[in-house]
Structure 1
Amino acid sequence: MKKFRGVFLKNDKEIGLLREANRIVATILDVLGEHVRPGVKTMFFEDITQNLCKQFGVRPAFQGYCGFPFALCCSVNEEIVHGFPSERVLQEGDIVSFDMGVIYQGFFGDSARTFAVGTVSEEAARLMDVTRQSLMLGIEQARSGNSLYDISRAVQQHVESNGFGVVRRFVGHGIGTRLHERPEIPNFVPPGLPGVPLKVGMVLAIEPMVTVGSYEVDVLEDNWTAVTRDRKLSAHFEHSVAITSNGPEILSRSE
């Protein structure tokens, strides 16, 4: 791997391994989504994730990372990220976010999606739509010659123009042979700082976390689960994206 300003640039072989890692993640998220419905305990999704990792011959990327105890981050309603699977039962009208990663031949895959549980409110549906749209607009800016903050600006402008909030405390990241590599990818433009130039070979995990109300965050007593301070809804979508000479390639796109 080459380096540019502390950022690892991946070659075609390395991007191929990242593509396969993320294909597996996308497949697992597909299966999890098929089982989202009222009455299901969130621990059920952890069991599915563990079983699929064994079937694919991969290791869960999150389990044991800085002490995180599960393979799956499962965040419901006001939970933004890093929620624990548990005996909690999904209810009609909830929204649930799954953030999932694997390690395949030493390379990491990482992706997240938010799902509706049954029929959700118009506000919840719009929150999910805007979050997903902001991710895709950010990805469109992941091109050689652009700045990192072109991604951030695209996300922030779309979210805030629709009346929602952008979480500041958690950001996206580079990804490769480590889960979190440089650069950090905020979903907002930090004032007064120059953005890193984007180069072919960068692989970025872009992940807007969007709120109905305030973007302020509390972390619960488990020291992991992040919730909105005002306890209003939050949604989270993430793709791992390679910057190629032909533009951005979404590695974690569902087949």
Structure 2
Amino acid sequence: MQEQTQIFGIRAIIEAINAGETIDKVFLQKGLKGDLFAELEFVLRQNAINSSYVPVEKLNRLTKGNHQGAVAQISPIAFHDLENLVMQVTESGKTPLFLLLDQLSDVRNFGAIIRTAECTGVDGIIIQKKGGAPVNGDTIKTSAGAVFKIPICKVDHIKDAVFYMQASGIKVVAATEKTNDTLYDVNFTEPCAIIMGSEDRGINPSTLKVVDAKAKLPLLGEIGSLNVSVACGAFLYEAVRQRLK
């Protein structure tokens, strides 16, 4: 696996993208203009690469080199193709268990979830190309290296993955408080995929409309929610409990 690293400079980033490097995110300087910068913006859009516009001070903190208004983070892992992964798992004869993360933003939560997913035999994690936490050094550290042991796929929209799972005979279960059913009411012994929402917004309402089942954790205290990585662990271990019976 390649080390996590950065590329800086507009032309260097364009060449890296064209060469097929796995770019996780690109930071662009706010207000920058010019033909070469416009070309980079076009290449980013064309390849659906996650990018954000930031003050020059952030770019200066990211690298000591002459960044020219653009810094790219190279992913330390190669992402898997969703269709190929689902096909491999279903053809292997085992009962599929996938995890969909709807724009989780905290890299430590992301890393902790990857670690739990690896420990519970999850076949693959699906994330959205834009808006979610990157796979970076903090993710690797909090995952205890599990990020290198479990397939991770990127899709344009989580709903795309939901529809593909359903078309492949995999039940999609949303972890949400917007239901009367608890996770103990759900049959996880079937082929299934669990969706966890973002820390602040939960699962996108339009995605909730198309899932096969919704389930919540019973909360017996006064606090209204759990940390997303803890909640995810509870869901995954309920699936494990049912499948070990």
Which range, TM-score by smaller chain?
Answer: under 0.3
Which of 1 and 2 has greater Rg? 2
Greater RCO structure (CA 8 Å; 6+ sep): 1
TM-score for the superposition, normalised by structure 2:
0.27
